[in-house]
A and B are shown apart, each in its own frame.
Chain A
Amino acid sequence: MRERSEDALNGNLTAMIDVVFQLIIFFVCTSNLQDSAPNTEIALPVAPHGEVVTQKDPREINIDVDARGNISIVRTKISQSLLLGILKKAVAEFGNDIPLIVRADAESEHTAVKKVLDACSSAGLYRIEFAAFKEKAEK
């Protein structure tokens, strides 16, 4: 009787450990995808003739600017001075040819975008890319 219950426990434990590892792999994959996903609160403008990048540089920095003028990186709101610190550190570590992508809301005013551009220039980054949608989303 005892042997039977031990066997049952061992068998169930193997399957359970298997499922746990499956869950870990699943969450690791989805969290990686979340990091690179654009902020859904930002409505990017449409630019059908812009360049589509197929191979992304792992050093690229995505800076988001929402319609209210808030600057954020990976959904974390930051100030212009903090952005400057981040960019200077990135330049010191990876050089001044790191790709910089500004994802600004279509309705955002240039004042907010200018803050980002000024921080980039102060950090020594002069080539900036603006992100946009290739096609307008159908409702």
Chain B
Amino acid sequence: MARKRRKTVWGAGELNLTAMIDVAFQLLNFFLITSHPVDVMSRLSVLRPKPDYTATRETQLEALVIMVLPEKYIINKTPVDFEQLEGILGKLAIRSKNQSVLIECLNQTHHKQLVRLLDLCAQLGLKNMSLVSSGGA
């Protein structure tokens, strides 16, 4: 007598869980691989002077020196606030975007102040920025 193969009969309301998990992970992997997250980060580029670099009188005259202090900025030995600095740099940028800017930071300078200045330079199109670090005030 032929043996009848009993097939699994799914009753009403029963689910094949393994297949469902399989499909769920398929979908998850698909969206993980195909999704492109929006880039929320920006970058500000600076140059560090090389150890063998010595500032000559000509380069010192050409570069605009901005010192970043905890509460203010000093541009060519004149203390200014951020709005005044924005005006000065704006006028310089109109004249030449290749203007060299030398940024000097002290130990107590907060990083957000440096980034604010770099962002301003990026906004004005100034690309020639160098960063030096000096000790405390």
Contacts of A121 in B (CB 8 A): 48, 50-51
* Closest CB in chain B relative to A95 CB, distance in Å: 16
- Tell whether A49 is near chain B: CB-to-CB under 8 Å: yes
> Which residues of A (1-50) have their CB < 8 Å from a CB of B?
3-4, 8, 12, 15-16, 18-19, 22-23, 25-26, 29-30, 33, 38, 44-50
Contact A51 B106 (CB under 8 A): no
Stretch at the interface among B23-31, B79-87, B94-102: B23-31
- Tell whether A128 is near chain B: CB-to-CB under 8 Å: yes
Chain A minimum-CB-distance residue to B115:
A45
Q: How large is the interface on A (under 10, 10 to 19, 20 to 34, 35 or more residues)?
A: 35 or more
How many CB-defined contacts (below 8 Å) exist between A and B? 156
Contact A47 B107 (CB under 8 A): no
Contacts of A15 in B (CB 8 A): 18-19, 22
A interface: dominant SS: mixed
- Tell whether A127 is near chain B: CB-to-CB under 8 Å: yes
A76 CA to B58 CA, complexed, in Å: 44
- Tell whether A63 is near chain B: CB-to-CB under 8 Å: no
Chain A minimum-CB-distance residue to B68:
A110
Contacts of A126 in B (CB 8 A): 47-50
Chain B minimum-CB-distance residue to A38:
B41
Q: With A22-B25, A130-B43 in contact, do A48 and B110 touch (Cβ < 8 Å)?
A: no
Contacts of B45 in A (CB 8 A): 51, 127-130
The contact sample of 9 A-B pairs, CB cut-off 8 A, is A15-B19, A23-B25, A47-B44, A47-B116, A49-B122, A110-B133, A114-B133, A126-B48, A129-B43
Given contact pairs A19-B21, A44-B41, a sample of 4 additional A-B residue pairs in the complex whose CB atoms are under 8 Å apart: A19-B25, A23-B25, A111-B108, A121-B50
Residues of chain A at the chain B interface (Cβ within 8 Å): 3-4, 8, 12, 15-16, 18-19, 22-23, 25-26, 29-30, 33, 38, 44-54, 65, 101, 104-111, 113-114, 117-118, 120-121, 126-135
Residues of chain B at the chain A interface (Cβ within 8 Å): 5-6, 8, 18-19, 21-22, 25-26, 28-29, 32-33, 39-51, 105-112, 114-116, 118-120, 122-123, 131, 133
